[in-house]
Structure 1
């Protein structure tokens, strides 16, 4: 990672969208939309009418959960003549308005996300896609150090060892690109969220909704709880104010909002999938339903303004300056950056190229009418590559 900073661009940190969890944040990277606009609001598919829920892996195969009207960059690139691929990235398995990413690899059930040998094989596979299949863009996902951080905590020796493994993987990706003679490859590496330690061992007053005076689960028709520091509630008809008033101010580290009153900076209010009451806890705390069932020592899903939730950002390749450190920016802006490097017209999105323009080796210019633009820039998220093509300006 330090070598990437010397050879390319490093941000002091970046701000992910709220809710700071895996699938919603990754889909923001792919679409440039805030979560309330792209609609992938949680890792779990759920049906509030039947009470059904599906875990993260199963939700990857629920097409309607992903095909919400926002097109990921794979589909946009393909519709404009480029070739795209994805390996294990959230949303890879779905079809979007009838289209799928051209080359895809979805992880199998019970996949070992921490296996470094598999990481290297996957890196070589992706470089083979670029070299042999002439792909222009590939998204690639590694599930660590998330799992280790959950299990042992972000400050644990185990987590630190996994960070070193991830660092080796970053080096291996760049070395593999060199072995495949992909000298024009641009590589962007970032993350969906950070991680914060969870208070344990009776050191704090835990947040358990069942124990709050005036609150009753009988007043709810559906809830998403016991999945870290965030939750959503669907009160029964006529009981929203009762539920809200019972919870508001009930615990000094519990934040309770009607969805329409959510802070505008969080962009987590407008979508119909977001339930009427949104809860989140301060760092160190998780939200329990009936009793404490959460055992993680590390968690994410906190307010995206918290520094523990801020990921890293590195970018290296011919499109980028060398040895440049830039100020923090929101990850919703990465989409516009990737579209520019690929030379494609972005879909409607919530980001802007102005947030990242200064990290480009050559600043974007506005072509005169009729001018022909020749694109030979590539982008990789973590891999993005482009193929020479011409288009009328």
Structure 2
């Protein structure tokens, strides 16, 4: 047996050894992790409002100039990327709405939050991964957090109701209090906490409105209350806190002379369509009737200068979106500020998201503070797919296969910490070594 083959055999033996998949032992007590998402918090919302508590987080920890969400920039897909580290086409939660092109069933966002098959379609989120490695986890209103994955539920979870009032600041504080008890009394190691603002206010009043600015100040007060609660519960020095969001927000051109209205296009008819998912912001999907794909595509591809229509196989690969069985043969998105109207004009929001994730208005925030984060560090922009690997590193767990890269965010951790010094768990290192050696032997 050659030298390389011997090394390969040794690496594979390490992979199969008892306990090879166990996390790297860490010095001292394990740090807990709280991931907080404020829905629809655009990257620059702190620039026209006084946000002393978010500013303090940046001074005490890490701030990204901005974070790029995945396409399509919708709530459920973007939140699931954060907890799986996967592009949307790889985790399968491709929309806020459940839909079935055969039965024609379409379900709203709140109902979809409880549809098992929509979420549990092969990807295992961080809650389950952590529990399988001995940790206890919780999800408070976080999209996908109340679902059973491969037969395993999150240790503790709360799901928002369909009539939930997103704006109640007193309830926000009560929710923080509950999460503190989960950490201190129930012994949870990881919790994901979700707030539906400033998204709801941004939709209703627009991202440049005073109402949105007032809501950002409420978010900031809540961040202050959260950090104060960590101190009073003795968690500030044993818990890492990440505050982020799913996407940004932009102003809708509601009175533009060139609205994107499919029902006005001269060469297009809904009689040629078997299934449609339209009127949900700036993106849409169509299933043409059998034999009519080319006809529908020809009618739409140059129908409006603000509308971009693609066959599934031709959709830009850089979006990492279309390569999934749930995506229809035709899909489309519109330019910033324009929503897609289908059979009727039924979209009246003043603010919207779902646009191209390269647009600055779709970018969002990232703040982190805690015992394992550097202090006063501002980092260059990065994609949200990398947050999952960072969280697994913070928890000392072996990640599932994902599209992120730990090296992207590893520099935000304190040098010399047990986390950073430990590097990759043995299983991951063994796989990397084995893969490299195998490639050389071939």
Is 1:204 the counterpart of 2:282 in the alignment? no
Partner of 1:77: helix, strand, or coil?
helix
CA distance in structure 2 between the partners assigned to 1:151 and 1:36 by the alignment:
30
> 1:256-267 counterparts in 2 under 5 A?
256-267=309-320
| Structure 1 gap ranges (5+) | 371-393
Match in the other structure for 1:270: 323
How far has the Cα of 1:130 moved from its partner? 0.5
TM-score when scaled to structure 1? Answer: 0.92
DSSP-derived class of the 1:141 partner? strand
Instruction: Give yes or no for the alignment of 1:159 onto 2:212.
Output: yes
User: CA 1:267/1:367 → structure 2, altered by over 3 Å: closer, same or farther?
Assistant: closer
Could you tell me which of 231, 239, 257 is aligned with 1:185? 239
Deviation at 1:366, TM superposition (A): 5.5
- The question of 1:35 aligning with 2:88 is answered yes
2:167 alignment counterpart: 114
1:279 paired with 2:339, answer no
Q: Secondary structure at the match of 1:304?
A: coil
Matches within 5 A, 1:112-261: 112-182=165-235, 183-201=237-255, 203-261=256-314
3-state SS in 2 of match to 1:10: strand
SS of the residue aligned with 1:199?
A: coil
C-alpha deviation, 1:365, in angstroms: 4.0
Secondary structure at the residue paired with 1:340? helix
Deviations 1:61-110 (A, max 9, x none): 11000001100100000000011001000012211000000011112230
Are the equivalent residues in 1 in contact too, given 2:274–2:287 (CA < 8 A)?
yes
- What secondary structure, in the 3-state scheme, does the structure 2 residue paired with 1:70 have? coil
- The equivalent residue for 2:79 is 26
Structure 1 residue 362, shift from structure 2 partner: 2.7
Which of 99, 109, 122 does residue 69 from structure 1 map onto? 122
Moved more, 337-346 or 256-265: 256-265
Structure 2: stretches of 5+ with no match in the other structure: 1-53, 427-442
Provide the C-alpha distance between the structure 1 equivalents of 2:268 and 2:162, rounded to a whole number of angstroms: 38
Evaluate the alpha carbon distance shift between residue 26 and residue 240 of structure 1 in structure 2; reply closer, same or farther with a 3 A threshold: same
CA drift at 1:50: 1.6
Alpha-carbon distance in 1 for matches of 2:425, 2:83: 30
Q: More relative contact order in 1 or in 2 (CA 8 Å, sep 6+)?
A: 2
Structure 2: distance between partners of 1:234 and 1:344: 42
Shift >2 Å, 4+ stretches: 362-370
Computing the radius of gyration over CA atoms, which structure comes out larger, 1 or 2? 2
RMSD: 1.5
Q: What SS does the aligned partner of 2:195 have? A: coil
SS in 2 for 1:129: helix
Please tell me whether residue 5 in structure 1 is matched to residue 73 in structure 2. no
Q: TM-score of the superposition, structure 2-length normalised?
A: 0.82
Larger CA deviation: 340-349 vs 163-172? 163-172
**What is the aligned length?**
370
Measure how far apart 1:241 and its partner are: 1.1
Give SS of 1:356's match.
Answer: helix
Q: Secondary structure at the match of 1:223?
A: strand
Tell me, yes or no, if structure 1 residue 16 matches structure 2 residue 69: yes
Matches for 1:68-107 after TM superposition, within 5 Å: 68-107=121-160
